[in-house]
Structure 1
Amino acid sequence: MAEPTSSPPAPDSVDLDTVRRVAGGIHEAITTVIEGKDEVVTTAVTVLLAEGHLLVEDVPGVGKTMLAKSLARAIDCQVSRVQFTPDLLPSDITGVSVFNQDTRQFEFRRGAIFANVVVGDEINRASPKTQSALLESMEERQVTVDGHTYPLPRPFLVMATQNPIEMEGTYPLPEAQRDRFMARLSMGYPSAASEMAMLASHGGVSPLEALTPVTTSEEVQAQIEAIRELHVSEALRRYVVELMAASRHHRMLRLGASPRAGLQLLRAARAHAALAGRDHVVPEDVQAIAVPVLSHRVLATGEASLTRHTTADIVRDVVERTAVPAGR
């Protein structure tokens, strides 16, 4: 009698305790600087562990750059900061080939994009040509200059801030650029209690100066790779596809979510599930992260603008109207 064929070994289970320890340490470090914005910090950490990019949009002075700097400082890694201005050149970001008189050869001098965490301050103050310099690096984790391709370090996170387009001296981000960001969030004004605490703690010396790294880039990358192994059922994947389709047919949207949006929504949902201590993704993970992941990728119709419906409102409506799958 033939021996039964053995099934392939199951993949190693995700060490959820380690994931939560690393994420919790980063979260706690950031909250020593950012007062009263627990949900914002949680979303930022989720995007980091999903290996995405984060766009923080709000009016000046509410802590956008401070959030980006705090996350960068909480990790022992390469960090660079780019102040986007109208005269910034694409080569300032990607790098440039310079002729060396001694060796009689061109040498590539790396730009600010070659870091684990790139803090882009006021990204929409640069020209569209300069903004487009980020497209390849954000999607493919590489830079091509003069026909040569240079890989970027891992993990790689672009955390950009921007002011609302109503502000003077801003250029709206094109749709292709916005689609590269996994999530967009707004800081919002702090509560009265948080603002009082901020005045007391920031009055003398900035708490950012006292923030020390709580983890390394290698450990963060290990958790990113582990989170990719979280179980996602076929029903849950179908749920994500149905959400994307519903956005494309919503009467108040003239541009729905792209296939890339579905991929990034699922990656973010995996990270959200891991932070919640689950080894599998449930519909609540998708719903919790849907607004920050999708609202900046879709375009509202003129009717929606006239009735003051934001894209976040419409995404919530899409989530509410889409049937939730049963079971795991």
Structure 2
Amino acid sequence: MHLHLFYFKSSYIFANASLFLLATELWPLVVVESHASLRSELYWPLLTLTAGDSDLPSEIYWNSVLPNTPMPQAVKNSLRPGVSKGGVSVSTGHEEKPGYVGVTKAKKPIFFYRYAATEDQLHAHPSVALFFLEKDMRLGTKMNLDFMKNTNEATFLPHQVATSIPFSSDKLPEILDQLSVKPESVEAETIKNTIIDCDRPGIKGEEKYCATSLESMIDFSTSKLGNKGVKAVSTEVENKSQTLYRIAAGVEKMGGDVSVVCHKMEYAYAVFYCHKIAATRAYMVPLVGRDGAKAKAVALCHTNTKEWNPKHLAFQLLKVKPGVPICHFLTQDQIIWVVSK
């Protein structure tokens, strides 16, 4: 087993006394003296497993519940600090260090059915080309797509740590205090908006849950789909800068007409908004870029959109009305759970 050392400033989440004590039961931590290269600030060194190891508690749980289900890249990227620059932190105005993951100002999630599109989203949102009609999903169709480099690098907390932190609107002051976030800051506003989205009831026919750990994501998804034949998949792209693609041969339908989709939210650590969606068809779509770069994109087609906001981005972009089937590709940090045929 290989170990790497990551430092966390005292203002970070693990500096909180109760969380620190709990975290020490799961990860070895050592208090060291600060020195000049660390600007004489107090840092906690955190020993984490390298990407080559596969015996973290979350991975063990995945393999025990889903022994025949490969872990998709979107999950791997959110699993270890060693994989995606790691760290559990919120920007507090200090200079960023290696291992830092901040909370950025979040835009309205365009894949949430309740939101109306703004003019800025219609003209400037980089994901608008991800929406399309099912009839266009055929061999040779060319699409301008921007799968965007994933800038949300927050990673999962261990399950025991995540469950010890409150996550509800009525606990916001306590949450901000534990995360060392100033109440009037941009970070606080983002955290509040994410929690509000999670607390808000879903639209008719939608069963939703915000997973604050990988274990809770697995539990929710398997409670809705079962764990027999469950498959978790994410979009994978070779060339992040490629935008012009054509659909190649081999479009594959995945599962039946029910799926669970998990969207990564802006937060101090990895939180996924998961929802069970009926009346859907999921596909794995092979794409080839102009330069030959390949992508395997997950496409989800909603066959009943009557409950969506009439001014949702998809309707305005495609110039159709609620009720018309709408398809969209999933971005690289989203995960779809289906039951294999």
Tell me whether the two structures share a fold, i.e. TM-score over 0.5.
no
Q: Which structure is higher in helix share? A: 1
Q: Give the TM-score normalised by structure 2.
A: 0.24
Q: Which structure is higher in strand share? A: 2
